[in-house]
């Protein structure tokens, strides 16, 4: 690739450790194309969509056309591989979150939690039917596990029930915080088999009888993402539409662990977005006759933001390296999520403070990252739950209750 060094410096100026140099030429071309699409088509109205809690029209379709699962650019030099490289997956999530956390979350629920539920939980026949359509965005999905009264403790308190009657199942219960459920074509619903008390997963269609979905209003974070409540009343699902390989919480945990690294990656990208937004502001804002970028205390905050980002990038890159070699470790991903989300909270606070009063106005970008950091801090395992996962490994003692 001609001018590869210049392209990477322009694409990732904040990458002082030059981690992006590990990307292939094809991956760099793909990411450059994605950035161009985001900046030219979606940047202008992004803050308006966040304020109005609306999804930019065409975003899901455009990302599907880019082919982030199947684009030949991503398989140059790895033609025998069945999936894109983990380093690419890090930079894909990073780059999208640097642009906007809501859009990364919206896509991640589909391509991470939802997609992997079908990938890990489906029979060969079910995977052949759904995986290609989910990968191309012909079908949309989500992930319906959390309930109104159960989030972190859902493994102990799954209340949605599934009762078998012949060759079908009857589902009753409620789900909450299900991102994108109102536009999903197929929804994997997790429910407790009343006979065995074990969890199972069922493919439910949005429009079928007994399914009622409403959007949660008045959020202070991830406003572009339509998080939903799902109400299930005597919903009938054929046995053939039960995901055959999800029969325990260990099976569900496999899906969660597979995507937790993605949240660590997303938190890192959000730090980059906060730094980018803050730099733009301080180089334009004048006080006492010069831009505030000239002042020592401002530069100290910017330096801390860069340091937090650099540490998070190094941790994320190492997680990606381990996973590329097949090492999916729940302790490592919990450390990544817990640490990067905590540093994100600190980073956006510094950026918002540097931007003064304008830092709470959505027009100046940093407000989006400041607010959305709160959601990242909470989802895919709260700070405390991830700490207890790590603590259990350190001490050999579970302290969850």
Rounded to whole angstroms, the Cα distance separating 363 from 332 reads 37
Per-residue pLDDT at 209 exceeds 80: yes
Most distant CA pair in the chain, distance: 79
Average pLDDT of span 6-33: 97
Mean residue pLDDT across the chain:
95
In order of their start, the domains of the chain are 16-135 (1.10.540.10), 154-247 (2.40.110.10), 250-395 (1.20.140.10)
Query: 120: how many CB neighbours lie within 10 A of its CB?
Result: 17
| pLDDT band (50, 70, 90) for residue 80 | confident
Q: Which of 215, 54, 199, 207 is nearest to 140 (CA)?
A: 207
How far is residue 364's CA from residue 40's CA, in Å, rounded to a whole number?
18
Q: Quick: pLDDT tens for 96-154.
A: 999 999 999 999 999 999 999 999 999 999 999 999 999 999 999 999 999 998 877 77
Pair of tokens at residue 128: 């052949």
| CA 166/CA 351 separation, integer angstroms | 59
**Nearest alpha carbon to residue 401 among 388, 383, 390, 387:** 388
DSSP one-letter code for 326? T
Residue 350, pLDDT score? 98
Flag whether pLDDT at 30 surpasses 90.
Answer: yes
The radius of gyration computed from the CA coordinates of the chain, to the nearest angstrom, equals 21
| Spatial distance between the Cα atoms of 297 and 353, rounded to a whole number of angstroms | 11
Helices 25-37 and 59-66 sit at what angle, rounded to 10 degrees? Answer: 160
Residues 6+ apart with CB under 8 A from 87: 19, 22, 23, 27, 317, 320, 321, 324
pLDDT tens by residue, 227-283: 999 999 999 999 999 999 999 988 998 888 778 899 999 999 999 999 999 999 999
């Amino acid at each position: 690739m001609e001018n590869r060094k210049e392209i990477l410096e322009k694409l990732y100026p904040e990458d002082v450790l030059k981690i992006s140099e590990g990307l292939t030429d094809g991956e760099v071309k793909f990411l450059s194309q994605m950035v161009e699409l985001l900046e030219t088509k979606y940047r202008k109205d992004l803050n308006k969509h966040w304020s109005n809690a609306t999804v930019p029209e065409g975003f899901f379709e455009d990302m599907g056309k880019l082919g982030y699962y199947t684009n030949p650019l991503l398989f140059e030099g790895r033609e025998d591989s069945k999936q894109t490289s983990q380093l690419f997956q890090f930079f894909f999530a990073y780059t999208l979150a640097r642009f906007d956390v809501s859009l990364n979350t919206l896509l991640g629920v589909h391509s991470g939690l939802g997609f992997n539920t079908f990938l890990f939980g489906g029979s060969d026949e079910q995977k052949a039917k759904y995986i290609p359509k989910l990968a191309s965005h012909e079908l949309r999905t989500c992930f319906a596990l959390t309930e109104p009264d159960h989030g972190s403790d859902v493994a102990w308190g799954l209340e949605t029930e599934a009762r078998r009657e012949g060759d079908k199942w009857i589902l009753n219960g409620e789900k909450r915080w299900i991102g994108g459920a109102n536009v999903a074509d197929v929804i994997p619903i997790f429910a407790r088999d009343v006979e065995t008390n074990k969890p199972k997963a069922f493919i439910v269609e949005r429009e079928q009888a007994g399914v009622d979905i409403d959007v949660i209003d008045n959020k202070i974070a991830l406003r572009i993402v339509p998080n939903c409540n799902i109400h299930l009343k005597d919903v009938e699902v054929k046995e053939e539409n039960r995901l055959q390989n999800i029969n325990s919480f260990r099976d569900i945990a496999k899906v969660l662990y597979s995507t937790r690294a993605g949240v660590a990656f997303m938190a890192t990208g959000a730090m980059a977005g906060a730094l980018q937004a803050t730099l733009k502001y301080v180089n334009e804002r004048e006080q006492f006759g010069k831009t505030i970028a000239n002042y020592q205390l401002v530069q100290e905050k910017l330096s801390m933001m860069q340091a937090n980002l650099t540490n998070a990038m190094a941790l994320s890159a190492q997680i990606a390296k381990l996973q590329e070699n097949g090492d999916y470790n729940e302790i490592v991903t919990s450390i990544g999520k817990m640490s990067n989300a905590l540093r994100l909270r600190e980073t956006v606070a510094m950026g918002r403070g540097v931007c003064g009063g304008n830092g709470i106005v959505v027009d100046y970008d940093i407000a989006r990252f400041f607010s959305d950091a709160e959601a990242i801090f909470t989802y895919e395992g709260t700070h405390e739950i991830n700490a207890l996962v790590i603590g259990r490994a350190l001490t050999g003692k579970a302290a969850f209750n």
